[in-house]
Amino acid sequence: MTTVIDPRRGIGFHEGRRHNKQPSPVSKAGPVMEFKQILIPIDFSACSKRAIDAGIAMARQFGAEVHLLHIVEPAAAAPLALAGVLPQGEMVERLEENARELIRKLVDEYGKDVKVDGLVAAGSPPLEIARFAKRNNIDLIVTATHGRTGIGHVLMGSVAERLVRHAPCPVMVVPSKESSED
């Protein structure tokens, strides 16, 4: 079941303009969605910490399992490889190893009352996240956005934006602190 919410309708909207910046209640007909498998892609930033907090809260509410997933981009290791620090393959392995250690700490921190596991993969974040979600029958992806605008958005793109378009399940986007204060 796909639920489409028109952001121009509901409490706080008048003539297609939003007047209230608070979340608006939305009612929907049909069966209630159940989330048993929640995926939280992370990059270890403050923004992804907010996504983890939101995803863990959802998991508690629904009794769901949480999968933390970090994607190492091989392209991110290229500048260091070109500088002669380490060969690119070895650099990617070290990045993956460091990410696994950080994820273990997050699993220990958040896994006290919710079943949490952590994984690391290499590739393009939006593609690997969507692939993981499809392969593992994920019911909900909770991701953060860094709130980049202007040239930063053009240059960096938006993993969250591409994920919303290509994910095989609903995506809950947790805004960065900066973008939520607009």
Q: Is 67 in contact with 136 (CB distance < 8 Å)?
A: yes
Residue 58 scores a pLDDT above 90: yes
What's the pTM value of the predicted model, to 2 decimals?
0.72
Distance CA 132, CA 113 (A): 24
Residue pLDDT, tens place only, 121-164: 999 899 999 999 999 999 999 998 875 554 544 444 577 788 88
Distance CA 138, CA 54 (A): 16
**Nearest-CA neighbor of 72 among 103, 46, 49, 47?**
103
Residue 53 scores a pLDDT above 70: yes
Q: Is 40 in contact with 160 (CB distance < 8 Å)?
A: no
40-180 has CATH 3.20.20.70 classification: no
Cβ count near 171 (within 10 Å): 21
The predicted model gives 93-114 an average pLDDT of: 93
